[in-house]
Protein backbone atom coordinates (compact mmCIF):
# COMPACT_ATOMS: atom_id res chain seq x y z
CA UNK A 1 0.00 0.00 0.00
CA UNK A 2 1.18 3.51 -0.80
CA UNK A 3 0.44 6.02 1.94
CA UNK A 4 1.19 9.67 1.17
CA UNK A 5 1.72 12.02 4.10
CA UNK A 6 1.17 15.58 2.99
CA UNK A 7 0.57 18.97 4.56
CA UNK A 8 1.92 22.49 4.94
CA UNK A 9 5.69 22.85 5.49
CA UNK A 10 6.48 22.41 9.18
CA UNK A 11 3.29 20.51 9.97
CA UNK A 12 5.22 17.38 10.97
CA UNK A 13 5.23 15.19 7.84
CA UNK A 14 8.78 13.87 8.19
CA UNK A 15 8.47 13.19 11.91
CA UNK A 16 5.19 11.32 11.48
CA UNK A 17 6.16 9.54 8.25
CA UNK A 18 9.33 8.01 9.69
CA UNK A 19 7.49 6.80 12.77
CA UNK A 20 4.62 5.40 10.71
CA UNK A 21 7.04 3.60 8.38
CA UNK A 22 8.73 2.02 11.41
CA UNK A 23 5.42 0.94 12.91
CA UNK A 24 4.19 -0.64 9.66
CA UNK A 25 7.57 -1.95 8.47
CA UNK A 26 7.11 0.06 5.26
CA UNK A 27 9.79 1.74 3.20
CA UNK A 28 10.15 5.47 3.91
CA UNK A 29 10.53 7.77 0.91
CA UNK A 30 11.22 11.48 1.16
CA UNK A 31 9.72 12.92 -2.00
CA UNK A 32 12.14 15.80 -2.29
CA UNK A 33 15.16 13.49 -2.00
CA UNK A 34 13.56 11.12 -4.50
CA UNK A 35 13.01 13.91 -7.03
CA UNK A 36 16.58 15.14 -6.66
CA UNK A 37 17.98 11.61 -6.95
CA UNK A 38 15.98 11.01 -10.13
CA UNK A 39 16.84 14.39 -11.60
CA UNK A 40 13.19 15.40 -11.73
CA UNK A 41 12.72 19.15 -11.63
CA UNK A 42 15.15 21.95 -11.04
CA UNK A 43 16.91 22.98 -7.86
CA UNK A 44 16.82 26.76 -7.69
CA UNK A 45 17.25 26.94 -3.95
CA UNK A 46 13.77 25.54 -3.74
CA UNK A 47 12.97 22.44 -5.76
CA UNK A 48 10.63 23.12 -8.67
CA UNK A 49 9.06 20.01 -10.07
CA UNK A 50 6.54 19.13 -12.70
CA UNK A 51 4.01 17.16 -10.66
CA UNK A 52 2.98 14.97 -13.60
CA UNK A 53 6.58 13.92 -14.19
CA UNK A 54 7.02 13.26 -10.48
CA UNK A 55 3.83 11.17 -10.32
CA UNK A 56 4.76 9.22 -13.46
CA UNK A 57 8.20 8.30 -12.16
CA UNK A 58 6.94 7.52 -8.69
CA UNK A 59 4.31 5.14 -10.00
CA UNK A 60 6.84 3.34 -12.17
CA UNK A 61 9.22 2.90 -9.22
CA UNK A 62 6.81 2.16 -6.38
CA UNK A 63 3.58 0.70 -7.77
CA UNK A 64 2.54 -2.31 -5.66
CA UNK A 65 5.10 -1.63 -2.94
CA UNK A 66 4.52 -0.76 0.69
CA UNK A 67 5.72 2.79 1.15
CA UNK A 68 5.18 5.88 3.24
CA UNK A 69 5.88 8.86 1.03
CA UNK A 70 6.68 12.10 2.80
CA UNK A 71 6.26 15.44 1.06
CA UNK A 72 4.00 18.42 0.47
CA UNK A 73 3.40 17.23 -3.11
CA UNK A 74 2.49 13.71 -2.01
CA UNK A 75 -1.19 14.22 -2.81
CA UNK A 76 -0.32 14.54 -6.51
CA UNK A 77 0.89 10.92 -6.55
CA UNK A 78 -1.18 7.85 -7.14
CA UNK A 79 -1.53 6.75 -3.51
CA UNK A 80 -3.95 4.36 -1.81
CA UNK A 81 -4.36 6.75 1.09
CA UNK A 82 -3.54 10.44 1.38
CA UNK A 83 -3.10 11.70 4.91
CA UNK A 84 -3.30 15.48 5.24
CA UNK A 85 -1.67 16.59 8.47
CA UNK A 86 -2.96 19.79 9.99
CA UNK A 87 -1.61 22.02 12.76
CA UNK A 88 -2.69 25.28 14.32
CA UNK A 89 -1.25 27.90 11.93
CA UNK A 90 0.54 29.53 14.86
CA UNK A 91 2.56 26.32 15.31
CA UNK A 92 3.50 26.44 11.63
CA UNK A 93 4.58 30.06 12.11
CA UNK A 94 6.63 29.30 15.22
CA UNK A 95 8.35 26.27 13.72
CA UNK A 96 9.28 28.02 10.49
CA UNK A 97 10.51 31.04 12.45
CA UNK A 98 12.71 28.73 14.54
CA UNK A 99 14.10 27.31 11.31
CA UNK A 100 15.08 30.83 10.28
CA UNK A 101 12.74 31.03 7.28
CA UNK A 102 12.27 34.53 5.85
CA UNK A 103 9.15 36.42 6.95
CA UNK A 104 7.61 36.19 3.48
CA UNK A 105 7.97 32.39 3.41
CA UNK A 106 6.56 32.04 6.93
CA UNK A 107 3.56 34.18 5.99
CA UNK A 108 2.93 32.22 2.82
CA UNK A 109 2.83 28.91 4.69
CA UNK A 110 0.82 30.16 7.68
CA UNK A 111 -1.75 31.51 5.20
CA UNK A 112 -1.79 28.22 3.28
CA UNK A 113 -2.53 26.29 6.48
CA UNK A 114 -5.17 28.83 7.52
CA UNK A 115 -7.19 28.40 4.32
CA UNK A 116 -6.76 24.62 3.80
CA UNK A 117 -4.73 24.84 0.57
CA UNK A 118 -3.30 21.30 0.69
CA UNK A 119 -6.55 19.72 1.87
CA UNK A 120 -8.45 21.24 -1.05
CA UNK A 121 -5.79 20.08 -3.53
CA UNK A 122 -5.76 16.60 -2.02
CA UNK A 123 -9.55 16.31 -2.34
CA UNK A 124 -9.31 17.28 -6.00
CA UNK A 125 -6.70 14.63 -6.66
CA UNK A 126 -7.64 11.64 -4.50
CA UNK A 127 -10.51 9.43 -3.39
CA UNK A 128 -9.25 8.43 0.03
CA UNK A 129 -8.26 11.49 2.01
CA UNK A 130 -7.80 11.37 5.78
CA UNK A 131 -7.29 14.63 7.61
CA UNK A 132 -5.51 14.47 10.96
CA UNK A 133 -5.08 17.37 13.37
CA UNK A 134 -1.70 17.17 15.10
CA UNK A 135 -2.27 20.16 17.39
CA UNK A 136 -1.58 19.29 21.01
CA UNK A 137 -0.72 15.70 20.15
CA UNK A 138 2.56 13.83 20.24
CA UNK A 139 3.87 12.28 16.99
CA UNK A 140 3.07 8.85 18.51
CA UNK A 141 -0.54 9.88 19.10
CA UNK A 142 -0.79 11.13 15.52
CA UNK A 143 0.59 7.84 14.19
CA UNK A 144 -1.88 5.86 16.32
CA UNK A 145 -4.73 7.95 14.94
CA UNK A 146 -3.60 7.37 11.34
CA UNK A 147 -3.28 3.62 11.92
CA UNK A 148 -6.72 3.47 13.47
CA UNK A 149 -8.32 5.32 10.54
CA UNK A 150 -6.62 3.07 8.00
CA UNK A 151 -7.23 -0.17 9.87
CA UNK A 152 -10.92 0.55 10.44
CA UNK A 153 -11.30 1.27 6.73
CA UNK A 154 -12.37 4.90 6.98
CA UNK A 155 -12.71 6.14 3.38
CA UNK A 156 -12.73 9.85 3.92
CA UNK A 157 -12.36 12.06 6.94
CA UNK A 158 -12.19 15.78 6.27
CA UNK A 159 -13.45 19.05 7.68
CA UNK A 160 -12.12 18.44 11.18
CA UNK A 161 -10.44 21.82 11.69
CA UNK A 162 -11.54 25.38 11.13
CA UNK A 163 -8.66 27.77 11.56
CA UNK A 164 -10.86 30.79 10.88
CA UNK A 165 -11.71 30.48 14.58
CA UNK A 166 -8.10 31.25 15.50
CA UNK A 167 -7.47 33.88 12.83
CA UNK A 168 -6.78 36.60 15.41
CA UNK A 169 -3.97 34.55 16.95
CA UNK A 170 -2.03 34.32 13.69
CA UNK A 171 -2.37 37.87 12.39
CA UNK A 172 1.26 38.67 13.37
CA UNK A 173 2.46 36.05 10.86
CA UNK A 174 0.31 37.09 7.92
CA UNK A 175 1.43 39.13 4.92
CA UNK A 176 -1.27 41.79 5.28
N1 LIG B 1 2.17 15.77 16.82
C2 LIG B 1 3.24 16.07 16.11
N3 LIG B 1 3.43 15.48 14.92
C4 LIG B 1 4.50 15.80 14.18
N5 LIG B 1 5.45 16.71 14.54
C6 LIG B 1 5.32 17.30 15.71
C7 LIG B 1 4.21 17.03 16.54
N8 LIG B 1 4.33 17.78 17.64
C9 LIG B 1 5.45 18.48 17.50
N10 LIG B 1 6.08 18.21 16.36
C11 LIG B 1 7.35 18.82 15.93
O12 LIG B 1 7.10 19.59 14.78
C13 LIG B 1 8.24 19.63 13.93
C14 LIG B 1 7.81 19.17 12.57
O15 LIG B 1 8.90 19.11 11.69
P16 LIG B 1 8.96 18.16 10.43
O17 LIG B 1 10.31 18.32 9.86
O18 LIG B 1 8.51 16.78 10.77
O19 LIG B 1 7.86 18.85 9.49
P20 LIG B 1 7.66 18.67 7.91
O21 LIG B 1 6.19 18.77 7.67
O22 LIG B 1 8.35 17.44 7.45
O23 LIG B 1 8.37 19.96 7.31
P24 LIG B 1 8.87 20.18 5.77
O25 LIG B 1 7.65 20.36 4.94
O26 LIG B 1 9.65 21.45 5.82
O27 LIG B 1 9.68 19.00 5.40
C28 LIG B 1 9.27 18.71 14.58
O29 LIG B 1 10.15 19.49 15.32
C30 LIG B 1 8.41 17.84 15.50
O31 LIG B 1 9.12 17.37 16.62
MG1 LIG C 1 9.85 17.18 6.03
Q: pLDDT tens digits for the chain (176 residues)?
A: 999 999 999 999 999 999 999 999 999 999 999 999 999 988 777 778 999 999 999 999 999 999 999 999 999 999 999 999 999 999 999 999 999 999 999 999 999 999 999 999 999 999 999 999 999 999 999 999 999 999 999 999 999 999 999 999 999 999 98
Q: Where are the alpha helices (DSSP H) in the chain?
A: 13-24, 31-38, 51-62, 89-98, 103-114, 117-125, 139-151, 167-170
Q: Which ligand is nearest to the CA of 11?
A: 1
* Pairing of the two strands 67-70 and 27-30: parallel
Q: Which ligand is nearest to the CA of 94?
A: 1
Ligand 1 midpoint to CA 136 (Å): 12
Which atom of ligand 1 has the smallest separation from the CA of 141?
Answer: 1
Ligand 1 midpoint to CA 176 (Å): 26
Which atom of ligand 1 has the smallest separation from the CA of 15?
Answer: 18
**pLDDT for the residue numbered 3:** 98
**pLDDT for the residue numbered 128:** 98
2-173 CATH = 3.40.50.300
Top mutation candidate among 6, 11, 75, 97 for ligand 1, by most atoms within 8 Å of CB: 11
Amino acid sequence: MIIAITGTPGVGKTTVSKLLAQRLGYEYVNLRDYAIEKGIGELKGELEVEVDELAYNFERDFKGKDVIVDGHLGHFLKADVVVVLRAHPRLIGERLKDRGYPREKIGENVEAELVDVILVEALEENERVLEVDTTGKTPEEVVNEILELIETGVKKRVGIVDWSEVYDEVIPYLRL
